[in-house]
Structure 1
Amino acid sequence: MPILTLRRAALCGLAATALLAGCATQQSLYQWEDYQPQVYQYFKGESKEAQVTALEAGLQKIHASGAAVPPGYHAQLGMLYLDLGKGDQMVQQFQTEKALFPESAPYMDFLLKHAGKGGKK
């Protein structure tokens, strides 16, 4: 095998190793806490109060660590507040979701509009 081909192969191997090492050290953009299990519990019809408690505790941990709240976290909490008849807290959570993730504004506005027409989603 010519020396030039060996050098190219070695350089490609080093580049691949560096690329994989870079991927391995990458941290998550958001801190999820119990968000995903609570969404699952929501769809299973489990206790809304327990879900709110878990999400609120997760939110405190996220804020304490200085991490970012994932998209949908405040929206899910708002949906739970809606189900519990806590309209003021629902509005606050939907507004927070809109502020953090402007792309969610059309959906949050839709939910706010329909929540005001008598109730549940």
Structure 2
Amino acid sequence: MVKVSLLVSLVSVLLLSGCGNNHLYYWGQYENIVRQSYVAPDEVDTATQISELEIDLRKAKDSGKKVAPGFYAHLGMMYAKQGNTVKSEAMLLQEKALFPESSVLIDGMLERAKKNQGIQ
């Protein structure tokens, strides 16, 4: 009886250890970029952020994972800072499509962007 109990415990530990750290989203450098933009905003320029986020986007797609909430919105804001309204709007709409709970925020961002740039 003790051997069976020990065997069951051992098998359980082995099975459960295989379930560790399966992250739902691909984060890449996103967290570091957001943190850096708050801590030292002058140290991370817009072009670098776009480049790193685009690399992370490719890595996420290659790994079959979704990017984290806010990823596309941040990328959209960086494109807007560069004046690329087409890509900015595409990224913001992608964020809204993937995370519908962000609709109010994204709609507000799109509306303000259109007012600021005179887009109809």
Superposition deviation, residue 70 in structure 1: 0.9
Partner of 2:25: 30
Unpaired runs of 5+ residues, structure 2, are none
Superposition deviation, residue 40 in structure 1: 2.3
Unpaired runs of 5+ residues, structure 1, are 1-9
1:101 to 94, 99, 102: 99
1:60 to 58, 61, 80: 58
| Overall identity of the aligned pairs, in % | 33
Equivalences for 1:1-121 in 2 at 5 Å? Answer: 21=16, 25-43=20-38, 44-45=41-42, 46-118=44-116
RMSD value, Cα: 2.0
Amino acid at match of 1:86: N
Provide Cα deviations, 1:47-85, integer angstroms capped at 9, x if missing partner.
100110000000000001111111000000001011111
Equivalent pair of 1:42/1:48 in contact (CA under 8 Å):
no
Greater radius of gyration (CA): 1
What TM-score results when the alignment is normalised by the length of structure 2? 0.76
- Quote the Cα distance in structure 2 between the aligned partners of 1:102 and 1:36: 21
Aligned length: 103
Provide Cα deviations, 1:86-106, integer angstroms capped at 9, x if missing partner.
111010000000110110111
